Structure 1
Amino acid sequence: MAELDAGTVTVGRYLAARLTQLGCRHLFGLPGDFNLNLLDEMLAGDDLEWMGSANELNAAYAADGYARVGRCAGAVVTTYGVGELSAVNGIAGSYAEDVPVVHIAGLPSSEAIRSGARLHHTLLDGDFLHFVRMFAEVTVAQAVLDATDPAGAIDRVLETMLATSKPVYLGVPLDLARHPVPADRLRTPLVPPPSDPEAVAAFTDALRDRLPRMDRLTVLAGPGVHRRGLEASVARLAQVPGIRIASQVGSKAILDETHPASLGTYLGVNTKDPGSQAVVDDAGVLVMVGTVFSDFTTGHFSHRYQPAHAIELALDHARIGPAVYPGVRLEEGLAALGEVVADLGFTPQEDVPPTPVPPAATDDAAPLDHTTMWALLQDWIHPGTTLIAEAGTAFYGAVDLTLPDRSDLLGQPVWSSIGYTLPAAWGAAVARPDRRPVLVIGDGSAQLTIQELGRLLSHPSAPVVLLLDNDGYTVERKIQSPDAVYQDIPRWDWTALPPALGASGAVVHDVGTTGEFRETLDAARDATAGHFVRVRLDRDDAPRLLVAIVAGIQKANALAGR
């Protein structure tokens, strides 16, 4: 990193250095006249690589996917007003699901802001802080840099992101991008706040007092484990006899799902294996590690376990029943749990017999349906895969898969913004080029963010995109009014899109029968090129989990209407 005179660097280069220290090696976004100085400074060295996107929403989704799969910070750069407002939905999803993303907005000059100049991209009212205030609702910390201490403001905001695993906002005026700041601050890396040692000790003692009363232990692991990169700690916990581990939706593959201790994915009454559901719901002691409590993670609140009675390891505190231990971060809480259970003699539990997986259909001439498609995917998916599944039929089908070792499921179960996964898959490919991305996305969702298809399919990791062409919004059709006009979408020529959007080297497939899909999966084992597969499905066909969830929704709606 080049220094200016007297041991200084520019604000832009300082920010770039801080991002690389946090594991971020790529910038997603779009140029605009208010961020050009900033981009020139941030990209002046070799530490950051530019990932230009088609629009700011896609860039925000890509940065989110990058952060989730890379277990690091993501970064998106926009211009003022028109650019940053286009990104706000993506940032809100990061906030809802605890994803550390830095939104960096290039602002008009400090003088323009002070004088209230009537500039383009503004509301012409002289108030340049409208959009900062908007982002205060979906970011955990914000700063508009000024000449007083811009490096300190950057550090404060980024440290808050590290502490909370939530997105933050930095506004960089045009002139501040090249403002000098002391370079020696960069010698002190930014780190998350430490746990309170006294609180950790008290929590550990309380665990020792609580756990010996039981002869077995059940763990429910949530997305917080991914956010803090603690999968290895959970895997070590799984080696202790008598411990069984279930994952929440949105946190599949925290543990290798073929591991003897794995209970698979817990979804209340919608859990695929009833035996696994019973182990969680009837646990004598349930430990919730980095969990999220919502309608979807609990099977629309069909869970029987009592969160208030459980042991909880949250991102920034621990709890045993009503006793809360502030300042025990998830890392230390999980370490304390591992230390305590290693000394205990739990009774090994009997294996929960898995629910048999129906074999894939053998009639190759039969029209392809969800049951057969997911069964064939189960047999085909290989270790070292990032499976990305869009909200809708794709996600509900993917949750029921048993993922192989070194794999991950990327989705957005809480925010569930359709179109998210296509740019997020690109971000995931950039973050983890060692894993092959396999994206499953519906036709309605893909129409929102299709602009990134060329970038995704052209990535060296040879992504596979399965486009589920089922003629509209099947999820909404299942819930209500299946024939309503608002459930329809324009019919696109899907197989013409990859070359039109810049992926001329991708292999394009069009399948509608079991045999065609089987042959296409065999062809897609070739990882020298990306593969785009149009998968033709019946409009009203749906995977098991979606059918079960819709039945629960309709039952709840009927009871509410009494």
Structure 2
Amino acid sequence: MTNLSAPTRISVGAYLATRLSQLGAPQLFGLPGDFNLSLLDEMLAVDGMEWVGTANELNAAYAADGYARIRRGIGAVVTTFGVGELSAINGVAGSFAEDVPVVQITGMPSTSAQTAGALLHHTLADGNFDHFVRAYEQVTAASVVLKTATAPADIDRILLTALNESKPVYIGVPADVAVSLVSGANLREPLELFGSNARQLERFTETLRQAVYSAVSVGVLVGPRVHRRQLEPIIRSLADAPGVYIATQSGSKAILDESHPKSVGTYLGAHTQSDDARRAIDEAPLLVLAGTIMSDLLTGFFTHRFDPEQAVELATTWARVGETTFFGVQLEDSLRILDEVIQDARLDALEPIILKPAEATRSVGGRTDAGPGASIVGPLSHETFWRHLQGFLAPDTTLIAEAGTSFFGAIDLRLPDNCDLLGQPVWSSIGYTLPATLGVCIAAPEKRAVLLIGDGSAQLTVQELATILHRGHTPVIVLLNNGGYTIERAIQSPEAVYQDVTAWNWTELPAAFGAGDRAVTVTVRNGGELAAALAMATETTDKLVLIEAILPPLDSPRLLTALGAGLSEANAPVMPSGSPALVAPSTV
């Protein structure tokens, strides 16, 4: 192995690996290919670097994304040129949409081959090697194809961009450049986030102080970008101050323990759990939007009643108070100053808002439980399912919930203390969470990972179950089997043939993937069987547990039904004036 404590000359591949290790990302997710083999050999020669081979490149990108979210830092995926990097691009696009700093590293043909326009495999056979880096320019904050002379500076610049903007970046490494020697002098100093502009920070502080001192109380809506910056301690400090309510967007649920008396839960506009919780944000005398994303699924399909333009907005690299924007103000500093100002202000004391999670977990569209007996022996419904899951969840759990049924059911849960919810509500690419669970297990092995995923979503990326098993990880996987795409059924044409998926024998998959005695599987069809399976999962911590829960195709949690109706309305065709009206599709 190579000792890089004080290098003088170092290969470009080793330089890149050392920087990733310094940033807390010593794992490389990906697949080998002939154009990245030399790069991988150089990177894995660095002490502490670990290869995490995945079933395909898309899964590698998803796993790196999940890893980066839990580590609150960078994740790295390594692919080969063309076929590999294009497989990964959907995952990287999701990282861009959701502000996750994933580094896409592509092993490329040699500089000489590119200069000559050689008609190589994995190319479009047109002599042009820029197609795919141009594609990545659309879904990354910065991109570069390395040259030996400038490689150290370009690597540092690109990684700093990922850190400061919380966005993915692209690094192309030609095979000859990967093994070229460069100076390692820069490695003596770690990369750090850019600081705020001092003058802008001073102006922001004074303007914010005037706004807070003029208010009697403050509502803070916390978005996922706060989580990306590891700023949870400041949110907890804000919650302890008088005169403050804290709500979270669904992409940052449980960023503050939901047992905290100042937590009003997850804000989803008209679909917020209680009217009191909604008013705490919509009618706040002063509203602060901290790291928020005002997209459709995070605002209850734009049913929020507050005016974002009148709020204080704290973004990743700028802040705004009313109509005045302060550029060059980092979220770390703006949130810290907000805490300091609120701690000094004399705001009114506020009474806790009591949430009722049991009321929120009712299902819509399926059978209504007639009583305790029915919920134990009758066919499993969402109402029964989520009630049992609520009782199963323990503190220090990482709950991973797939887009659709799983995520919107999980939003209504009351998570125990020190839990995380990982989902993808902005990009919503189905199949994301199973590979992301691999990244989560590597990033936070001290927490039990619990994955909720539907049968349709799992069929896209289930190969990564093999990697999870063979690395010895022991998550609980609850597979909601309702025979198809429930969220799509909730939007339009629930009986259409395209809503169905092929039936699989889910409980046999771990054995097919070589699990041996490292997995326990069970199928449940009613509340009694589910309760027994969850009790078994609680006791079984040394093996992967797969619980297949059979649910009705047209049953769904209340949030999925409500948001499905919103999607149905949003996606409805707009007829030209004077055209005959179309019959609206049936929905549930």
Letter matched to residue 321 of structure 1: G
Asked if the contact 1:429/1:459 (under 8 Å) is kept, the reply is no
- The reply on whether 1:490 has 2:502 as its aligned counterpart is yes
Aligned pairs for 1:102-121 within 5 A: 102-121=103-122
1:77 corresponds to which residue?
78
Letter matched to residue 451 of structure 2: L
2:52 corresponds to which residue?
51
Aligned pairs for 1:14-53 within 5 A: 14-53=15-54
Which of 385, 405, 421 in structure 1 is aligned with 2:433? 421
Aligned pairs for 1:280-319 within 5 A: 280-319=281-320
Aligned pairs for 1:347-362 within 5 A: 347-355=348-356, 357-358=358-359, 362=372
2:191 corresponds to which residue?
190
Which of 466, 483, 502 in structure 2 is aligned with 1:454? 466
1:514 corresponds to which residue?
527
Tell me the C-alpha RMSD between the 2 structures: 1.7
Aligned pairs for 1:8-407 within 5 A: 8-355=9-356, 357-358=358-359, 362-363=372-373, 364-407=376-419
- The reply on whether 1:547 has 2:561 as its aligned counterpart is yes
Q: Distance in 2 between matches of 1:482 and 1:249?
A: 26
- In the TM superposition, residue 135 of structure 1 has moved relative to its aligned partner by 0.5
Letter matched to residue 531 of structure 1: V
Q: Distance in 2 between matches of 1:25 and 1:509?
A: 35
Q: Distance in 2 between matches of 1:451 and 1:417?
A: 16
- Residues 230-265 of structure 1: CA deviation (Å, up to 9, x unaligned): 011111111101111000011011100110010100
Letter matched to residue 353 of structure 2: V
Give the 3 Å change call, closer, same or farther, for CA 116–514 of structure 1 in structure 2: same
- In the TM superposition, residue 421 of structure 1 has moved relative to its aligned partner by 0.4
1:412 corresponds to which residue?
424
Q: Distance in 1 between matches of 2:453 and 2:573?
A: 33
- In the TM superposition, residue 147 of structure 1 has moved relative to its aligned partner by 2.0
TM-score, normalisation: structure 1: 0.97
1:463 corresponds to which residue?
475
- Residues 31-62 of structure 1: CA deviation (Å, up to 9, x unaligned): 00010101111111332111000000000000
- In the TM superposition, residue 547 of structure 1 has moved relative to its aligned partner by 1.3
Q: Distance in 1 between matches of 2:298 and 2:456?
A: 24
Aligned residue pairs total 562
Q: Distance in 1 between matches of 2:214 and 2:43?
A: 56
- In the TM superposition, residue 4 of structure 1 has moved relative to its aligned partner by 12
SS at match of 1:175: helix
- In the TM superposition, residue 483 of structure 1 has moved relative to its aligned partner by 1.2
1:527 corresponds to which residue?
541
Asked if the contact 1:200/1:336 (under 8 Å) is kept, the reply is no
TM-score, normalisation: structure 2: 0.93
- Residues 145-184 of structure 1: CA deviation (Å, up to 9, x unaligned): 1122111111111111111110000000111111111111
- Residues 382-417 of structure 1: CA deviation (Å, up to 9, x unaligned): 011110000110011001111111110000000000
- In the TM superposition, residue 554 of structure 1 has moved relative to its aligned partner by 4.2
Runs of 5+ consecutive residues of structure 2 not aligned to the other structure: 362-368, 576-580, 582-588
Q: Distance in 2 between matches of 1:167 and 1:126?
A: 27
Letter matched to residue 485 of structure 1: V
Give the 3 Å change call, closer, same or farther, for CA 200–554 of structure 1 in structure 2: same
Q: Distance in 2 between matches of 1:178 and 1:52?
A: 22
Give the 3 Å change call, closer, same or farther, for CA 77–224 of structure 1 in structure 2: same
- In the TM superposition, residue 502 of structure 1 has moved relative to its aligned partner by 3.0
SS at match of 2:247: strand
Asked if the contact 1:98/1:166 (under 8 Å) is kept, the reply is yes
Give the 3 Å change call, closer, same or farther, for CA 120–210 of structure 1 in structure 2: same
2:578 corresponds to which residue?
none
Give the 3 Å change call, closer, same or farther, for CA 557–23 of structure 1 in structure 2: closer
- In the TM superposition, residue 5 of structure 1 has moved relative to its aligned partner by 12
- Residues 303-324 of structure 1: CA deviation (Å, up to 9, x unaligned): 0000000001100001001100
Asked if the contact 1:234/1:255 (under 8 Å) is kept, the reply is yes
Letter matched to residue 15 of structure 1: L
Asked if the contact 1:437/1:461 (under 8 Å) is kept, the reply is no
Letter matched to residue 550 of structure 1: G
Q: Distance in 2 between matches of 1:39 and 1:236?
A: 44
Q: Distance in 2 between matches of 1:252 and 1:356?
A: 14
- In the TM superposition, residue 351 of structure 1 has moved relative to its aligned partner by 2.0
- In the TM superposition, residue 551 of structure 1 has moved relative to its aligned partner by 3.1
What fraction of aligned residue pairs are identical, expressed as a percent?
A: 52
Runs of 5+ consecutive residues of structure 1 not aligned to the other structure: none
SS at match of 1:315: coil
Asked if the contact 2:6/2:188 (under 8 Å) is kept, the reply is no
SS at match of 2:29: strand
